[in-house]
């Protein structure tokens, strides 16, 4: 009985581990999107700069 108890305990532990893994995954995803957003922003800035040059 106690053996199975510990087994379930480890099972839940792994479950939480995977949960945290997915959390970090989503975090990196959002980070990357923000990065690309800033990239496009700078791109538009340079475009406007060139416009003013003319």
Sequence ranges of the domains in the chain: 25-54
Tens of pLDDT, residue by residue over 7-42, are 999 999 999 999 999 999 999 999 999 999 999 999
**Strand residue runs (E) in 1-54:** none
The tokens for 54 are 């003319």
Its pTM surpasses 0.85: no
Alpha-carbon distance 9 to 3, whole Å? 10
Instruction: Supply the pLDDT for residue 54.
Output: 86
Integer distance in angstroms from the first to the last C-alpha of the chain? 81
**Strand residue runs (E) in 5-51:** none
Instruction: Supply the pLDDT for residue 39.
Output: 98
Alpha-carbon distance 42 to 50, whole Å? 12
């Amino acid at each position: 009985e106690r053996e199975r108890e510990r087994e379930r305990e480890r099972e839940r532990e792994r479950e939480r581990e995977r949960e945290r893994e997915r959390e970090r995954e989503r975090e990196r995803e959002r980070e990357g999107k923000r990065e690309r957003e800033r990239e496009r922003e700078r791109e538009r800035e340079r475009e406007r700069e060139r416009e003013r040059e003319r």
